[in-house]
């Protein structure tokens, strides 16, 4: 079911520390329940709508906030610190409006509709690309999902898996090939309440359970002709030299989201270590030099993350674009640091840290999911190695 919000719009606010703290505090209230139930975080998106944050990256000409990458990442980090599944779903909508390469070929009227919906607190959109046999198209190959030309537009048939946000999205951007003699491939925009769509609730994951990344089945699902928003010959999907806007949004957003989860873990750990007073010690665990050393290690890891992410975002906002390799290296380092930071917390807490009544084990399950996002470690490191070796 698509998200349902009241129609009146709220303009995006100035991004201040008080707002970020309020986002984290509010979303954290339902985070454990969302994780346990494995459901779409509807209450989180209702709050974000009320704060005017769904359309944060929409251009001002459509009523949006026109936020910089740096400001959008601040919001994503605060959301992730409260409930990271919400941040991952929100990131997809943000990136469609903020990375021009994704939508510059769309018919103007189609894009404007989605932009204005986002400003109203609706219009959540997600890319459905992964398939049971193909896997992710990032590694090549044509999708099995077919768009068949009809008298009124297109009919989509196929299955997508790992469909982030499935039950709560308003729009699906479906990666499919045409049924033409020489197939084209690309994105077909489909309303989530269209006929011929079945969502199979198969997402039963280690972490990020609120992303409801279920399987979505399309059977002759109709969509208008103009909703073939970006369909090209397969060869035309090769990366364009110098265009790293999508890589920037992906690498820095993924890094920010999992860094946010690690920061939530750090905050809980610090409170626990200060509150825990073993009978044989007579003082809190926070007074032990070994504990202080390990918490210092966590702080160093998270400081490196913040420096990498904020520096890259500032460069991009100033018009200096890092290379795709440099951006993906940030994703590799930052997500690895996030995992290690939470692992240290588990080392310090022992059994309490792995007890479900404490959030540390949830934060650990969530940060482990950072490894599966494209580009994955092997792709990042091979590309970096080839560049360094000149081969």
Decide the pairing of beta strands 171-178 and 125-128: parallel
CA dist 22 and 9 (Å) reads: 20
CA dist 312 and 247 (Å) reads: 12
User: What is the model's pLDDT at position 219?
Assistant: 98
Name the 3-class secondary structure at 160: strand
Question: Cα 333 to chain center, whole Å?
Answer: 17
- From the number of C-beta atoms within 10 Å of its C-beta (0-12, 13-18, 19+), residue 137 rates as middle
pTM of the entire predicted model: 0.93
User: What is the model's pLDDT at position 244?
Assistant: 66
List 218's β-bridge partners, or say none.
158, 197
Spans of the chain below 50 pLDDT: 1-10, 12
User: What is the model's pLDDT at position 4?
Assistant: 37
User: What is the model's pLDDT at position 134?
Assistant: 82
Question: Cα 277 to chain center, whole Å?
Answer: 39
From 387, 91, 101, select the one nearest 252 (Cα to Cα): 91
- Give the chain's domains with CATH numbers: 17-122 (1.10.540.10), 127-237 (2.40.110.10), 245-389 (1.20.140.10)
Name the 3-class secondary structure at 179: coil
Residue pLDDT, tens place only, 85-100: 999 999 999 999 987 6
Q: Are 274 and 353 in contact (CB under 8 A)?
A: no
User: What is the model's pLDDT at position 5?
Assistant: 37
User: What is the model's pLDDT at position 321?
Assistant: 87
The tokens of 67 are what? 């936020």
> DSSP string covering 83-145, please?
-HHHHHHHHHHHHHHH-HHHHTTS-HHHHHHHHHHHHTT---EEEE--BTTTB-GGG----S-
List 91's β-bridge partners, or say none.
none
């Amino acid at each position: 079911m698509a998200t349902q919000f009241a129609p009146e719009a709220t303009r995006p606010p100035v991004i201040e520390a008080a707002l970020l703290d309020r986002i984290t505090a509010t979303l954290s209230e339902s985070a454990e329940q969302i994780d346990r139930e494995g459901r779409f975080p509807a209450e989180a998106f209702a709050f974000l709508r009320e704060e005017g944050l769904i359309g944060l990256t929409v251009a001002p000409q459509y009523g949006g906030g026109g936020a910089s990458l740096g400001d959008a990442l601040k919001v994503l980090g605060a959301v992730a610190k409260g409930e990271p599944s919400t941040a991952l779903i929100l990131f997809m909508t943000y990136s469609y409006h903020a990375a021009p390469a994704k939508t510059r070929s769309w018919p103007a009227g189609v894009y404007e509709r989605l932009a204005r919906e986002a400003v109203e607190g609706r219009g959540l959109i997600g890319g459905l690309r992964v398939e049971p046999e193909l896997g992710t198209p990032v590694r090549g190959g044509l999708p099995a999902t077919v768009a068949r030309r009809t008298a009124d537009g297109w009919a989509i048939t196929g299955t997508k898996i790992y469909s982030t946000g499935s039950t709560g999205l308003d729009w699906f951007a479906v990666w499919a090939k045409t049924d033409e003699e020489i197939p084209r491939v690309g994105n077909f925009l489909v309303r989530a309440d269209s006929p011929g769509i079945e969502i199979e609730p198969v997402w039963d994951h280690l972490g990020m359970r609120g992303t409801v990344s279920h399987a979505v089945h399309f059977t002759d699902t109709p969509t208008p002709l103009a909703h073939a928003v970006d369909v090209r010959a397969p060869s035309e999907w090769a990366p364009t030299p110098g265009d790293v806007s999508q890589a920037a949004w992906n690498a820095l957003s993924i890094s920010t989201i999992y860094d946010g989860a690690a920061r939530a873990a750090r905050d809980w750990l610090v409170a626990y270590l200060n509150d825990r007073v073993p009978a044989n010690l007579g003082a809190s665990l926070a007074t032990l030099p070994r504990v202080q050393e390990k918490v210092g290690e966590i702080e160093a890891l998270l400081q490196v993350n913040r420096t990498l992410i904020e520096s890259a975002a500032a460069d991009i906002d100033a018009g200096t674009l890092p290379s795709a390799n440099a951006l993906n290296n940030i994703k590799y380092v930052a997500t690895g640091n996030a995992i290690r930071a939470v692992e240290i917390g588990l080392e310090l807490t022992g059994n309490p840290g792995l007890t479900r009544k404490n959030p540390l084990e949830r934060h650990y399950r969530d940060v482990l999911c950072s490894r599966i996002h494209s580009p994955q470690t092997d792709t990042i490191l091979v590309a970096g190695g080839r560049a360094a070796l000149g081969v």
